[in-house]
Structure 1
Amino acid sequence: MPYVLGIDIGGTTTTAAVSRLGNAGWLAPEVVRLGVRSTTVPSVLHVSGDGALTVGEPVQLDAGRVARGFVRRIGDDVPQIVGGEPCTPQALTAVLAMWVVERVLAHEGEPAEQVVISHPAAWGTYRRELLHRALWEIGLANVTLLPEPVVAAESHAARGWRGRTFGVYSLGGSDYEASVVRWAEGIGFRLLGSAGAIEPFGGADVDEALVGHVRSRLDRDLREMFTSGPQARIALFGLRRECRRVKEELTTATEADVVLSTSRGHVRVPVTRAELDELVRPALELSVETLAQVIHSCGLRRRELDGVLLVGGAARMPLVAELLRAALPGPVGVAADPQTTAAEGGALAAVQVVSPPSTRRQDPMWIPEQRAIEASNHEPPPPVQEGMDAGPPPRPPVEITPLRLRPTQRLFGLVGGQA
């Protein structure tokens, strides 16, 4: 059955969704299960000693062979060293995108008609062209790149949200962006403006705040378990993972226990939602103020918004919606799983790309992208020029060895070390 694919490669997790062509037209997007038991997979690449590449957190902690956080580094000409090899951020992102495409291909039995990958709202032509070229070089030609707020608005509109102008509050695992989008008849949603947090802030920072809170509740002997000894690193990794679980549990519960395995047996540290809110309230209040500033910079008044749409796993925290409702008029829209909103919106946007020319939207933001995609089926994208909007800062030249990739049937092996 023909299908299109939407991919959202975030700073910490990656999600995907497909829309299939049925007898009555394109069906609603369906989230793809990328992990063994989850719809998400960590945005992490690991190179083993024999050169095999896996996606997800490795079983053995080896920082020198792990790449993470590469999507947000696209545009930076300093490579990441993975397994002793320098790799550009866009090449690593392309590898992860290809892994998702191959994963879906194995399930669907045929290639996607079109792929849409979301990207941060702040990206300009320079970063988009870097990623386009990396995708083309790895073999992904039928890809369109669209801003995350645009595809998020597509997803919410498909769920019945009505309005023309929306604020988009995106809080992912490692970063935050505030944006404003507006609907124009015959064009679709367009990005009016965006801004990131003054200081980097995301769900991982919430986890770290909770880690510090839990450690402060332990006696000195237990605190030393995370700072000294050969097992300190593993113990801290386990504590972070447990705090992440509790943070997610507190989105619906008012109290949860952080459970630690120690030489004394299992130790439980109770945490309430009120305690977590107190830890993160200052940062969240600043993020809401950032959205208010973006609204003002777009020449709009707060009351002109038809609502605020939430994107990203960390946006599930009840305090986020509470602060937005207090600061801005209008409803706050959040999906059952805001972590997959961008991927689902990407699939909906991909449907627009493959629609007949008579019904395809004529969005000025889409036209350059679409022409590049159509040309890429025959020739590579044009060379990236550093004069195109905000390129990388001046630095001494860096010699980068291309990432050597194995054939796809051998390249993409295990997810998190599991078959």
Structure 2
Amino acid sequence: MRYVLGIDIGSTRIAAAICRRAGQSWAEPQVVRVFESVLYVAPDETVQVGLDNLAAGVESSRMARRFLRRIGDEVPIQLGNQLYSPQALTAAAAGWVTDLVTEVEGVPPERVALTHPPGWGAYRRGLLRDALTDAGLPGTLLLPGPIAAAESHLVRERVEVGTTMVVCRLGGEHVDLAVLRRNPGTFEVIGHGESPCPQAGAAIDDLLAEHVGAEDRGSCLRAKEMLSMAPEVTIPVPGDLVRVTRPEFERLIRPLLSACLAPLSRYASVSTVLLAGGTARIPLVAALAAETLEARVMVDPDPGTAVCRGAALVARPPVEALPGSTALVPRVPSLPDHDVDDGFDAEPVPPRPPVVVTPLEPPKRRFVKGGRS
């Protein structure tokens, strides 16, 4: 069956969703895989994604994390005795996920869309596009994460052309803010920024662990997720179980979340806020967002996967696209057509001392058993 694939590579999780072709229309996106955002490159350059897929006792020095947001940094990432560029590792992760989904579905996707932070300009996108081509994924659509979240929202509610909205994505280690405007064909990023306390999700886990005296941070992460729905949870600590209620949890994390959402006050003229990211599951987040900005606050039903589902929606071939076109959306005549080498990054690459490294190519043997070589 024909389908398209959307991939979101976050700092803590990698999620993938597909849209299947059903006759003359497309079905709603379906999340097919969620992994911990860990990339492992074995000595024979075999690639694996996610801790659950790794054998016990593998070398931690061969594991990479947070590689996507390192794109644009000239300093490479060392795994074992080899050096890789961040974009090569990102392309390897995207290729591994694509091959895994292909193996399950039986055929490759018609299109792949991969998300990236909203502040990226032509430089970073060009690096990633070249790496994806080298890794065997030419024509991959590159999509700002907030636009993907907004496209996912469109499945549930119409957004009128000309409407502006703020998308706030609260992930495990980054809080991204973007102002979007709805154009006839798609959304457009007209402003973006980051929160002054970027590690919202991880910081909440640490606060909860310190509060109850837990040594296992993973149990606190699970408790945080359960408290988004349950009135109370018990957390294992050495020799005991500690009970935590939702009101107690909210009192603990309120100062942190208030600081994370404070930048929303800059957008007083915007009437709608869309919350996405795993941390947005916490009910207090929506309440504080409404207090910070007097606007309508919407939360995706599954905020942790909103971005990958939106990417899958955008990956569907647009009706107006020419045969073979890899255009992200139908072209809007009033918007300029920027080439990869045009424009500039809002966040310039910091100066680095000269570094001579080799190799920087993607791992040569890649991805899942039976995948492309």
| TM-score where L is the length of structure 2 | 0.88
Q: CA deviation at 1:53?
A: 2.7
Q: Which residue of 2 aligns with 1:196?
A: 194
The partner residue of 2:351 within 371, 390, 394 is 394
CA distance in 2, matches of 1:85, 1:322: 47
1:6-405 matched pairs, under 5 angstroms: 6-32=6-32, 34=33, 40-48=34-42, 51-57=45-51, 58=54, 59-60=56-57, 62-163=59-160, 164-185=163-184, 187-215=185-213, 236=215, 239-260=216-237, 262=238, 264=239, 267-293=240-266, 295=267, 301-302=268-269, 304-305=270-271, 307-353=272-318, 356-357=321-322, 361-363=330-332, 390-400=347-357, 401-403=359-361, 405=363
SS in 2 for 1:99: helix
Q: Which one has a larger percent helix, Structure 1 or Structure 2?
A: 1
Specify every segment of 5 or more residues in structure 2 that has no aligned partner in the other structure, as ranges: none
Deviation at 1:280, TM superposition (A): 2.2
Which residue type is aligned with residue 141 of structure 2? T
For 1:312 and 1:403, locate their aligned partners in 2 and report how far apart those are by CA, in whole Å: 31
Deviation at 1:395, TM superposition (A): 1.2
Q: Distance in 2 between matches of 1:276 and 1:403?
A: 46
Displacement, 1:329? 3.1
Higher Rg of the two aligned structures: 1
What residue is the counterpart of 1:227 in the other structure?
none
Measured against aligned partners, the alpha-carbon deviations of 1:287-330 in whole angstroms (never above 9, x if no partner) come to: 2221222x2xxxxx43x42x211111111111100111223334
- CA change 1:174–1:60 in 2 (3 A) is farther
Aligned mates of 2:362, 2:3 — CA distance in 1: 30
Shift of residue 48, structure 1, vs aligned partner: 4.0
Q: Which runs of 5+ in 1 are unaligned?
A: 35-39, 219-235, 296-300, 373-383, 414-419
SS at match of 2:134: helix
Q: Do the aligned residues in 1 keep the contact of 2:173 with 2:199 (CA within 8 Å)?
A: yes
CA shift for structure 1 position 61: 7.1
**Amino-acid identity (%):** 38
Structure 1 position 169, deviation (Å)? 1.0
Change (3 A) 1:171 1:319: same
Across the aligned residues of Structure 1 and Structure 2, the Cα RMSD in angstroms comes to: 2.7
Q: Is the contact made by 1:126 and 1:389 (CA closer than 8 Å) also made in structure 2?
A: no
Letter in 2 for 1:259: P
Task: Report the CA distance shift for 1:61/1:208 in structure 2 as closer, same or farther (over 3 A).
Answer: farther
Q: Deviations over 1:211-268 (max 9, x none)?
A: 11122xx7xxxxxxxxxxxxxxxxx4xx1111110000000112101124x5x5xx21
Greater mean alpha carbon deviation, residues 270-279 or residues 89-98: 270-279
Query: Quick one: distance in 1 between partners of 2:292 and 2:301?
Result: 23
Residue 368 of structure 2 corresponds to which residue in structure 1? 412
Q: Sort the Cα spacing of 1:197 and 1:182 in 2 relative to 1 into closer, same or farther, 3 A.
A: same
> What TM-score comes out, normalization by structure 1 length?
0.79
CA distance in 1, matches of 2:345, 2:293: 36
Q: Please state whether the residue corresponding to 1:182 is helix, strand or coil.
A: strand
Residue 368 and residue 118 in structure 1: after superposition, are their counterparts in 2 closer, same or farther (change >3 A)?
Answer: farther
Residue 129 of structure 1 and its aligned partner are, at CA, apart by 0.8
